[in-house]
Structure 1
Amino acid sequence: MRRRSLLIAVPAGLTTLAACGSEDKSDSSKASDSASPSAQATSAAPPPKIVDGPLPAITAGTKFDEKPTVAKGGGDPSKQLAVKTVIAGSGRTVAEGDYIVAHYLGQIWNTGKVFDNSYDRKTRLAIQLAQGSIIDGWRYALTGKKAGSRVEMAVPPTWGYGTQGQPQAGIKGTDTLVFVVDVQGTFNAKSSAKGTQVAQKDAGLPEVGTNTDGKAPSIEVPKADAPKKLVANYVIEGDGEKVGAGDTVLVQYKGVLWDTGKEFDSTYSRGQLTSFSLEQVVKGWAQGLTGKKVGSRVLIVIPPNLGYGDNPPQGSDIKKDSTLVFSVDILAKM
């Protein structure tokens, strides 16, 4: 089993995007064999006092987005939450309830044992800073920081795993945990694509709205026969990294039926972003987003053979042999 972080929580939505007839193998649903702040560990403790230290030194990997090496903690850690902005970013300010995309390393205060890090996995984390999604230490330490910042924190058990610890990772219920977190970006339910608008010239294809105010874009389906092949066109072209076939992405999306124009799924309607692996969604999504740039809005038209064919999801408005139309904003890749 691929090693992954316990930070990842089960995503909302996506009931209509999972590959039909397959076992759910997404990172968000598998058991983990590593440890870091997890949803089930979230405490009901009162807010901590934020203090400056003590915090162990970062002895190597001192640049943003470099894997850090952190010394063992010296003496006794604070019983409160120690937080230091090691590198101050200039991006958007993180608010509670936002999704952050970050690289991080976690180790035990008194032994220096690294129990989890995303740098070696070469996979950034996307997680919501909300109670029930992540331990309170991260929630309190990162709220108010700016994207582009490196933050070091020392999290006592009260705002970490509590007295139960995480035995499978060698974390005891008395251990204070040290994290270094590189905040790559922060997103919320009003986040949208950012880039250059691309002309939509084909009258035989749906026209997607280009608003970037966080509201759902319009999707106008033409009175024409649906295309037989996959369509994946930029509506807004971003300037970020290209998405790979095995990547996990953080997105806003809206889906409608070609025949009726009726919406059947939308993160905008739920008021919550979602993330997923391109290996675990219908082929039309996987093929349509592969190679597209982060920051973009993409029109995807999925014919039945790359969607659900004659086996649509139960309880959805998708019918047998439906052609699906999506507007997808690629906010980040992990």
Structure 2
Amino acid sequence: MRRLAGLLVVPLLLLSTAACGSDDKGSDSASMTNGLPAITAGAKFGEKPTLAKGEGDPPKELKVNVISKGDGAVTKKGDALQVNYLGQAWDSDKPFDNSFDRGQPFDLTLGAGQVIKGWDQGLEGQKVGSRIEIGIPPELGYGAQGQGDIKPNATLVFVVDILKSTTIPKSAGGSEVAQDNKDLPKVGTNTDGKAPSLTVPKVDPPTKLVSSYVLESKGEVVKGTDTVVVNYVAALWKDGKVFDSTYATGKTANFPLAQLTLKGLKDGITGKKVGSRVLIVAPPSEAFGDQEKQGIPKNSTLVFAVDILAKM
């Protein structure tokens, strides 16, 4: 099954440079705190930190230091998190990535495999409002193969501020809205967390964007600058064949709407209410036009059943 998300959003947690763990021997010193590199400046929650270079052998297992504990909810698998972070290789004193400079927090769904395993494991069970430092061994990072400029067997160190956590419901809900246009697809109204049915009629597709409620909730209205957590089924109008579904993987998707390149999907979600299920029909001019994308034929009309589960 094709993965549509890769066509729609920028890559998550871009890491540009890193290095291998140090072979030097040693123990905690002024540059180390509880087995991880010390924060040398910007130690308070919300401040951009700087980290010392790691000394001695890096941790062989995941290590988490709570720098300051917040008083918010405890994070759990399936929660939508918003965080700020700075990342550095164990044997470097130069960060390879951070969200503080971008002025844009990073959004993820905990335990959904959207980030490296060390993040999914290290962030679970922490309180919102906390600053933590995570030491991540290679097998919980990018392993022996590395990733891009990240060298094989690199140990990574992150400082992470947990800004927000949102519990994601299993399904959209709200009032059923009549689907009485026989020339439009019909979407199932189940609320059990399973994929809704999606039936495409054997008629010519619409030439303009369609975005209509299947289930209408009383949630907040989504803005074009929001990041939303969704479940969706996506099909081709031509034959009704499903080409992507988050239900098939059991993992929700995070859509930063400002970064969506598929205009019809962005515009179809914007203005709708969080907690709702929406039918979106995107004609070629609102989809991928005359370009073939990962096997999706050119000039395809795309059909989506989207549950807008949460807004970050």
TM-score (norm 2): 0.63
* Residues 1:184 and 2:164 are matched in the alignment: yes
Which residue of 2 is the match for residue 302 of structure 1?
282
286-295 vs 72-81, which deviates more? Answer: 72-81
User: 1:267 deviation in Å?
Assistant: 1.8
Which residue of 1 is the match for residue 188 of structure 2?
209
* Residues 1:142 and 2:120 are matched in the alignment: no
Equivalent residue pairs, number = 290
Partner SS for 1:232 = strand
* Residues 1:197 and 2:174 are matched in the alignment: yes
Alignment of 1:8-47 (within 5 A): 13-14=3-4, 18=7, 27-28=10-11, 34=16
**Equivalent in 76, 93, 97 of residue 93 of structure 1:** 76
Q: Deviations over 1:42-64 (max 9, x none)?
A: xxxxxxxxxx946757986856x
Contact 1:36 1:116 (8 Å CA) reproduced = no
User: 1:323 deviation in Å?
Assistant: 3.7
Which residue of 1 is the match for residue 25 of structure 2?
none
**Equivalent in 77, 95, 107 of residue 125 of structure 1:** 107
User: 1:250 deviation in Å?
Assistant: 4.3
Partner SS for 2:65 = strand
Which residue of 2 is the match for residue 327 of structure 1?
305
* Residues 1:290 and 2:290 are matched in the alignment: no
- Give the CA RMSD over aligned residues: 5.1
Contact 1:36 1:106 (8 Å CA) reproduced = no
The verdict on how the C-alpha distance between 1:92 and 1:296 changes in structure 2, with shifts beyond 3 A counting, is farther
Percent identity over paired residues:
38
Contact 2:107 2:254 (8 Å CA) reproduced = no
The verdict on how the C-alpha distance between 1:313 and 1:76 changes in structure 2, with shifts beyond 3 A counting, is closer
Alignment of 1:239-318 (within 5 A): 239-240=219-220, 242-244=222-224, 249-258=228-237, 261-275=240-254, 278=257, 279=259, 281-308=261-288, 313=293, 315-316=295-296
Contact 1:68 1:180 (8 Å CA) reproduced = no
User: 1:326 deviation in Å?
Assistant: 0.9
The verdict on how the C-alpha distance between 1:328 and 1:302 changes in structure 2, with shifts beyond 3 A counting, is same
Contact 1:54 1:82 (8 Å CA) reproduced = no
Contact 1:103 1:124 (8 Å CA) reproduced = yes
Contact 2:18 2:154 (8 Å CA) reproduced = no
The verdict on how the C-alpha distance between 1:286 and 1:71 changes in structure 2, with shifts beyond 3 A counting, is closer
Distance 1:307 1:183 in 2: 34
The verdict on how the C-alpha distance between 1:249 and 1:74 changes in structure 2, with shifts beyond 3 A counting, is same
User: 1:221 deviation in Å?
Assistant: 4.7
User: 1:112 deviation in Å?
Assistant: 7.2
TM-score (norm 1): 0.60
Structure 2: gaps of 5 or more residues = 21-32
**Equivalent in 67, 79, 83 of residue 102 of structure 1:** 83
* Residues 1:232 and 2:232 are matched in the alignment: no
User: 1:232 deviation in Å?
Assistant: 1.5
Contact 2:54 2:92 (8 Å CA) reproduced = no
Q: Deviations over 1:43-90 (max 9, x none)?
A: xxxxxxxxx946757986856xx4455786999898461332712532
Q: Deviations over 1:277-311 (max 9, x none)?
A: 65553332232223445544322122343235565
